[in-house]
Amino acid sequence: MVESALVLLAAALILLPGAGVSRRWRMVLGGRQRDTPLPVRSAGADPLATAAAFDLLAACLRAGLPVAIAARTVAPVAPGTLGAALERGADLLALGEDPASAWRRIAGEVEDPDIQALARLVGRSIRSGTGLAGALDELAGRCRGGIEDAALARAERAGVLIGGPLGLCFLPAFICLGIVPVVMGLATRVLGGGT
């Protein structure tokens, strides 16, 4: 009797949508359902996605891919505006536009500091003749450093904000239990000693 009730409960949890079993467990227990696609994590949710895209672009360039093909390869996995800018840059380069002017044009179209930094790197690389992959590694490191600095600032700010409520809770207790008895004891000695 108990076993059949458990089997019915398990079947209800698997078959009924939103009955408490996640989509992943329904897929594991009941096979993949055609009407529920796998969730895709958005690239914009990851704060390190821009740095990872720059690292991937540098790896493609080190592997010997031309800049246009490397940009087109990285564009689908790059976050938001960076992905669109890489796709546009690949298109402009494939049409034969000068790389420095193509990336300057893209940087002028969007106000993203990462894309503007990429345009400056491409221009500097073309003028000086240095490899773009090393500069992209540095840019990725700067992106990670900025994220680390912002996280550290948020953590320090949280530490400061925690002090307010703690002070409001503990300061009255300290005054009532620490200072008031001492003042009362001194007052009784000073005032009580004269009589």
**pLDDT the model gives residue 8:** 57
Burial (CB count <10 Å: 0-12, 13-18, 19+), residue 143: buried
Whole-angstrom CA distances from 162 to 66, 83, 149 are 52, 39, 20
Query: Which residue in 148, 135, 150 sits closest to 55, CA to CA?
Result: 135
Using a pLDDT cut of 90, give the percent of the chain over it. Answer: 27
Dist. CA 131–CA 70, nearest whole Å: 14
Determine the residue type at 61. Answer: L
What is the per-residue pLDDT across 81-110, written as a single tens digit (0 to 9) for each? 899 999 999 999 888 888 888 888 888 888
Q: Which pLDDT value is given to residue 67?
A: 87
Residues 53/60, Cβ–Cβ less than 8 Å: no
pTM here is 0.61
pLDDT recorded at residue 87: 92
Which regions in the chain score pLDDT beneath 70?
1-45, 193-195
